[in-house]
Structure 1
Amino acid sequence: MSDSPYRSGFVSFVGRPNAGKSTLTNALVGTKVAITSDKPQTTRTVVRGIVHRADGQLILVDTPGIHRPRTLLGERLNDLVEATWTEVDVVAICFPANEKIGPGDRRIAENANKLKKGIKRVAVATKTDLVGPERIAEHLLDISTVGSELGIEWAEIVPVSAKAGDQVGLLADLLLGLLPEGPPLYPEGDLTDSPDDILVAELIREAALDGVRDELPHSIAVVVEEMALREDRPADRPLMDIHANLYVERDSQKGIVIGHKGSRLKDVGKRARLQITDLLGVPVYLDLHVKIAKDWQRDPRQLRKLGF
């Protein structure tokens, strides 16, 4: 029996878009709870991933990337992050090792420094698999310098590669050590508190983002309209019926998402269905439709309808 007390609490991963927050969340949880893409601003909701260990429970809060907003959606995503990180025990700022620390990173660090004193700050150098040892050393020094200049006392500065699995276990140990003593906050076996329909909508959006041209990613939103086990099936051969709408802002975008004679939408459905089947553990019938919600990123009424 270990002498160390059981700890539990919340850690928020923050950073610029595409800083590796979702990939790191998935690596720590050990399964996919947050969608990932090489497109910035893929994450649009606050996703909680739960890490269960004998010595504690680590609840990771993956947040949208903080950026200069150009739309009402962008403003709402930034507000979501700032509302989230005031409620956690540790804020872990992700600084990708393959990029220099820029004004956006500094602004996030400054804001993190204004949080109440009890919240601990950790710096995570992400994506270390993309650079050599010299660059990692330089990057860690830059992070340390930013901390000194802004008056931040980093509780830890940790280099990790979520893709290669380097130091992911060490990061989990260090984060857990910063949490307060307390009982588990979620039941054993829960890996996220996101409802299934939200996870399903996200997996469809991830499949739709893959391979689209750069102007499209932010214009895609997905809503699961209906999701239920088909009634006339024998118990040993269940089938989940899922009906979902993909929303885009313009007619031209609808054409891109559907593809020539529906080929692209078919491919999106096929890839999403495999992931959803893995997630739910039952075979899935997926029915996708593409609809237009004109300029939804800028329209408060449309944003509400799409869940933002």
Structure 2
Amino acid sequence: MNAPDHPAAQGKIMLVGLGPGSHDHLTARARAAIAEADTIIGYVTYIRLIADLVEGKEVIKKSMTEELDRAVEALDRARQGKKVALISSGDAGVYGMAGPTFEVLFQAGWTPDADIEVEIVPGASAINTCAALVGAPLTHDFCAISLSDLLTPWPTIARRLDAVAYADFVVALYNPKSGRRTQQIVEAQRLFLRHRDPQTPVAIVKSGHRPKQRIELTTLERMAEAEIGMLSTVLIGNSNTFIKHGLMVTPRGYANKYAVEAGERNTHAGEQAGRSLSTGLNGWLATIQASGRSAAELAADYGLPEDYIAAALLSELPPAGEEAEIEG
């Protein structure tokens, strides 16, 4: 009698975010995925961070610019039925290996119902871990921009920098400087100074949560003079960010609504707890519609596109009694 056929083992690719690199900040699922894997693939520096967790496994080390090669290796091993942990520092989906891996998979004809399973294991990105070391700089709106022009044209990066500087975002700059790319951080500073006060707080965190961690608090005016490299993340505050007692803090905006006196919280005149500000969308629409001013005049005052203001002037005001929201 012939032996029964056994289906080939199903391959799996696990895109594992290591967080900042210290074992204390490695998630339980990331640790389990590494233990589950037959093969570990990653940038040599990242593999070094988890050397004690990959003993006895097939380990494939790649250089900094070989991201597509890592993805191809992962697909090749998964086709052999192996479970592969393709590692990134931080989060695999934030300037990590998730994007290039899906590009390679889609080009190979992979679909989610194929024999190769793909799992993304999230990890804390540098924007979170570095912010935690310097205080609370991300309490209000923020974004991340990479200064690496290896794959993105500089005019695209410059437009993004200028837009977020004007829009008053707190900004995290990834890949701010390297041995070859030294001018990009200077250009970023130049663009930000077009819109921001030179004294805007800046935090520079190098190798956060790793043995050679270094933190420097400075200002936008002095930012380019600081020690910055590829292992640094630069956090630029917004117009309300401040530094006090060595901590960088961006207010959430409670002072717009509340006054705290003698330990009690009281709303300002015209404001209600749990409701939009009087200068929120509804109040703002009512104000501009009652102003009698032209779209061009209002656009100049608010720094908004004239066609947007024109549409807002024609908008129907929402009914009163909106549902209260949880603040914070």
Task: State TM-score, norm by structure 2.
Answer: 0.25
Look at both structures and tell me which one has the larger radius of gyration over its CA atoms.
2
Identify, as 1 or 2, the structure richer in helix: 1
